[in-house]
Amino acid sequence: MTDYIIEAELREETGRAATRRLRRAGKLPGIIYGGGKPDLAITMDYNTVSKLLNEEQFHTSILEVNVKGARGKNGVLLKDSQWDPVMDTATHLDFFRVSASDAITMDVPVVILNADKCPGVVQGGLIDVIRHSLEVTCRADSIPDQIEVNCADMEIGDTVHIDDITLPEGAEVQHDVNFTVLNLSATKAGTDADDVVEGDDAAVAEEGEAAE
């Protein structure tokens, strides 16, 4: 069972003028497609869905979209979202039908752990993330929220390749080349070590600590 259930209605009008009217009325247009079934143009409550879009897990979970009437329940993944470049608000969502056992491929974010404890960072090095996300293939009901890379033991000059990462059970990253995910280099002149963010994204020690 999904943690995310969205109530929707069929959308009879399409086109830019119609979608603008919907958005002014507090509705968010979208479409459900795939699964060997007809496409469904839908509308959803904007305020409800916009809050869900702020949750990272919403983007990698099977969702249930209940379309009012005979169309019923649809198990879907959020495949794409369009945004207003000025207002930074969602303008349209694309949902792709899936079942729990379907093999799907999704971009999953890479998250750096323990960078603040990393010897190379403490010495003034900088973690350079080359791949901020990885294209992961897995069952639709087992999509990982993130791919974690533990940097606790990294020294300056160390590199993490895709083959060095332990992926969640059932997940694969298809690759022919053992590509670089991140590396730890000496801080270049003029580079502020605080450009690497501490926490789930990346971290670096304060310059004062690096000098010690």
Chosen domain end from 62, 81, 98: 98
Query: CA-to-CA distance for 212 and 89, rounded, in angstroms?
Result: 45
pLDDT in tens, 145-195: 999 999 999 999 999 999 999 999 999 999 999 999 999 999 754 444 444
Lowest mean pLDDT among 62-66, 110-114, 201-205: 201-205
Residue 91: CATH number of its domain: 2.40.240.10
Distance between first and last Cα of the chain: 52
Q: Structural domain of residue 50, as residue ranges? A: 5-98
pLDDT in tens, 114-151: 998 999 999 999 999 999 999 999 999 999 999 999 99
Lowest mean pLDDT among 19-23, 46-50, 124-128: 19-23
Examine the domain organization and report whether 94 and 109 are in the same domain: no
Examine the domain organization and report whether 117 and 188 are in the same domain: yes
pLDDT for position 70 = 66
pLDDT for position 2 = 64
pLDDT for position 211 = 43
The answer on pLDDT for 28 being more than 70 is yes
Examine the domain organization and report whether 81 and 131 are in the same domain: no
Supply the pTM of this predicted model. 0.72
Examine the domain organization and report whether 128 and 194 are in the same domain: yes
The CA distances from residue 212 to 120, 124, 151, 152, 175, in Å, are: 13, 10, 21, 19, 41
Tokens representing residue 62 in the block: 């099977």
Chosen domain end from 56, 72, 98: 98
Examine the domain organization and report whether 111 and 205 are in the same domain: yes
State the average pLDDT over residues 89-94: 93
Chosen domain end from 98, 113, 134: 98
The answer on pLDDT for 206 being more than 50 is no
pLDDT for position 188 = 56
The answer on pLDDT for 45 being more than 90 is yes
Examine the domain organization and report whether 116 and 73 are in the same domain: no
The single residue listed with the structure tokens 């080359």 is: 130
State the average pLDDT over residues 102-121: 93
Domains: count for the chain: 2
pLDDT for position 198 = 42
Residue 171: CATH number of its domain: 2.170.120.20
pLDDT for position 15 = 74
Confidence of residue 71 (pLDDT cuts 50, 70, 90): confident
Q: How many CA atoms lie within 13 A of 87 on its CB side?
A: 7
Examine the domain organization and report whether 109 and 128 are in the same domain: yes
Examine the domain organization and report whether 53 and 125 are in the same domain: no
Examine the domain organization and report whether 118 and 177 are in the same domain: yes
Examine the domain organization and report whether 131 and 196 are in the same domain: yes
Examine the domain organization and report whether 32 and 81 are in the same domain: yes
The CA distances from residue 45 to 24, 83, 94, 183, in Å, are: 11, 16, 15, 43
Cβ atoms within 10 A of the Cβ of 85, count?
8
Examine the domain organization and report whether 91 and 112 are in the same domain: no
